[in-house]
Amino acid sequence: MEAFKEHVGLVVPLDRINVDTDQIIPKQFLKRIERTGFGEFLFFDWRYLENGDPNPEFVLNHSRYAGASILIAGANFGCGSSREHAPWALQQYGFKAILAPSFADIFRNNCYKNGILPIALPADVIASLSQEAHDTEGYRLMVDLEEQAVICPDGTAHTYEIGDFEKYCLLNGLDEIGWTLQYETDIAAYENQNRL
């Protein structure tokens, strides 16, 4: 996994609550056996019209948001299906961080495993950042993981919470399986003790 320390990027607002993983990556794209190639199908049903053309009304298709790497969304982002294809699609599209008032549990876990930073901020902060992203063309934010802060162009810093272990894994691009396997003797002892 790629390490994450800090990131500065263009912000795109998606003004919807309860965005489910079926919207992030619809099921017809889950038949692939590879881990790559999902970015072009991100938000497929919202992003493209029936004839395959980009839907001009969908925010990701507005030229001013081309190249956005920070997504701001409504509460409970990533609910529903456990498909890790959702963070794969977001990451492969180019998103590094997602800001929302809250996230669904499985989706948030899946983000951490793929070097995407899900940042929960109070609803009023999200609303004001989202408004800025609407009002100010080229609105960029800095996401600092070491300091656990989202820093606005005017220098305002919004701090956020992240688990110590998740932070450590992201900062170091850690292989979690390798980390667990260093405790192989503990696992074997547990198995022996429980006759598994």
Partner 1 sequence: MKKTMYEKIWDAHLVRASASEVPILYIDTHLVHEVTSPQAFEGLRLNNRKVRRPELTFATMDHNVPTTDRSLPIKDQIAAKQMETLAQNCTEFDIPLYDINSPEQGIVHVIGPELGITQPGKTIVCGDSHTSTHGALGALAFGIGTSEIEHVLATQCLLQHKSETFEIRVDGTLPYGVTAKDIILSIIGHIGIDGGNGAVVEYTGSTIRALSIEERMTICNMSIEAGARAGMIAPDDTTYEYIAGKRFAPKGEAFDAAVEGWKQLPTDEGASYDRTLQLDAADIAPQVTWGTNPGMVTDVTERVPNPADMDTADEKRAAEHALDYMDLEPGTPMTDIAVDRVFIGSCTNSRISDLRAAAEVVKGRKVADTVNAMVVPGSQAVKRQAETEGLDEVFRAAGFEWREAGCSMCLGMNPDTLMPGQRCASTSNRNFEGRQGKGGRTHLVSPQMAAATAVTGHFVDIREFSS
Residue ranges in 129-188 that form contacts with partner 1 under rule CB under 8 A:
163-166, 175-177, 179-181, 183, 186-187
Site mask for partner 1 (CB under 8 A), range 3-42, x = bound: ------------xxxx-x-xx--xxx-xxxxxx-------
DSSP character at residue 65: G
Site mask for partner 1 (CB under 8 A), range 57-96, x = bound: -----------------xxx--xxxxxx--x---------
Nearer to partner 1, 66 or 181 (CB): 181
Cβ pair 17, 185 in contact under 8 A: no
Strands (E), the chain: 6-14, 70-73, 97-100, 117-120, 140-144, 149-151, 157-159
Cα atoms in the Cβ-side hemisphere of radius 13 Å centred on 110? 21
| Collapsed DSSP state (helix, strand, coil) of residue 15 | coil
Cα atoms in the Cβ-side hemisphere of radius 13 Å centred on 53? 4
Nearer to partner 1, 9 or 83 (CB): 83
Nearest to 149 by CA among 187, 109, 99, 103: 99
Task: Return left, alpha or beta for 195; rule: phi > 0 is left, psi -120 to 50 is alpha, else beta.
Answer: left
How many residues bind partner 1, per CB under 8 A?
Answer: 53
Nearer to partner 1, 45 or 156 (CB): 45
Nearer to partner 1, 67 or 191 (CB): 191
d(CA 115, CA 99): 14
Nearer to partner 1, 40 or 105 (CB): 105
| Using rule CB under 8 A, residue 196 touches partner 1 | yes
**Interaction site with partner 1 (CB under 8 A):** 15-18, 20, 22-23, 26-28, 30-35, 45, 50, 74-76, 79-84, 87, 102, 104-106, 109-110, 113-114, 163-166, 175-177, 179-181, 183, 186-187, 190-191, 194, 196
